[in-house]
Amino acid sequence: MKGFHVILALPHAIRAASEGADGIVVSGSESGGLRSVGSESSTMVRVPLVADHVKIPVVAAGGIADRRGYRAALALGAQGVQIGTRFIASEEAPAPQVWKEAILACGDGGTTLVPLKNMKMRVIPNKKLVDLSADPNVDLSEEYNLMNAPKGWMSGDFDLFPAGAGQGAALIKEVKPVKAIIDEMVS
């Protein structure tokens, strides 16, 4: 079994490589999912930076939703890509239709970072999140418990936890079969 370590900063990549990781998944700030509370670099910056410093395979993650992103990742020095949001909006994904529709409706700048206890998570804001964010007395890290994400996401109850997605959601305009997504990316 091979072990690829997901990193959010160059020092973590160097350490993972020196400790024997078989590869590195370089997650740029565009990525959906859990994020650092610190400053983060974009995929466009982080992938070549890491590729210049490690001698193990680099996989790019964050903002990759089509052929252009795939080719850009390879041009930046990655040997492959990790795709998240694009595959949520696939026919085979078990995500509820409302989650797929939220991704399709997501425009430029349509995601935000929700603060949790010791991290952040990139999500598509819904009315509840927008309303809570407007109230200066609300601590979002108290309102949203990461343990509720799986239940909220699989039920489509985004008041429980907003729909997770990366910034690449703005590029996704239709739900397709996984095979069609992959074929389009690598053609």
Instruction: Read off the pLDDT of residues 130-159 as tens digits, 9 standing for 90 and up.
Output: 999 999 999 999 999 999 999 999 999 999
What is the mean predicted confidence (pLDDT) over 95-114?
Answer: 96
Q: Which domain holds residue 22?
A: 4-82
Complete DSSP assignment for the chain: ---EEEESSHHHHHHHHHTT-SEEEEE-TT--EEE-SS----HHHHHHHHHTT-SS-EEEESS--SHHHHHHHHHTT-SEEE--HHHHTBTT--S-HHHHHHHHH--TT--EEEE-SSSEEEEE--HHHHHHHH-TT--HHHH--GGGHHHHHHHT-TTTSPEE--GGGGG--S-B-HHHHHHHHH-
Residue 178 lies in a domain: no
Residue 129 lies in a domain: yes
pLDDT for res 113: 95
Q: Bridge partners of 124? A: 163
Q: For residues 32 and 78, state if they share a domain.
A: yes
Q: For residues 139 and 75, state if they share a domain.
A: no
Q: For residues 72 and 107, state if they share a domain.
A: no
Of 53, 82, 111, the last residue of a domain is 82
Residue 87 lies in a domain: no
Complete DSSP assignment for 9-42: SHHHHHHHHHTT-SEEEEE-TT--EEE-SS----
Q: For residues 103 and 152, state if they share a domain.
A: yes
Q: For residues 133 and 112, state if they share a domain.
A: yes
Structure confidence at residue 34 as a pLDDT band (50, 70, 90):
confident
Q: How far apart are CA 97 and CA 120, in angstroms?
A: 25
Q: Which pTM does this prediction carry?
A: 0.93
Segment 38-74, tens digit of pLDDT: 889 999 999 999 999 999 999 999 999 999 999 999 9
Of 56, 82, 108, the last residue of a domain is 82
Q: For residues 117 and 161, state if they share a domain.
A: yes
Q: Are 169 and 63 in contact (CB under 8 A)?
A: no
Specify the CATH number for the domain of residue 8: 3.20.20.70
pLDDT for res 57: 98
Q: For residues 122 and 52, state if they share a domain.
A: no
CA distances from 29 to 8, 9, 81 (A): 8, 10, 15
Whether 174 has a pLDDT exceeding 90, the answer reads yes
pLDDT for res 1: 82
Of 55, 82, 109, the last residue of a domain is 82
pLDDT for res 162: 95
Residue 187 lies in a domain: no
User: Is the Cα torsion angle 63, 66, 70, 76 positive or negative in sign?
Assistant: negative
pLDDT for res 37: 86
pLDDT for res 39: 85
Whether 117 has a pLDDT exceeding 90, the answer reads no
Q: Cα–chain-centroid distance for residue 179?
A: 20
pLDDT for res 36: 86
If one counts the domains in the chain, the total is: 2
Q: For residues 60 and 124, state if they share a domain.
A: no
Q: For residues 21 and 60, state if they share a domain.
A: yes
Structure confidence at residue 33 as a pLDDT band (50, 70, 90):
confident
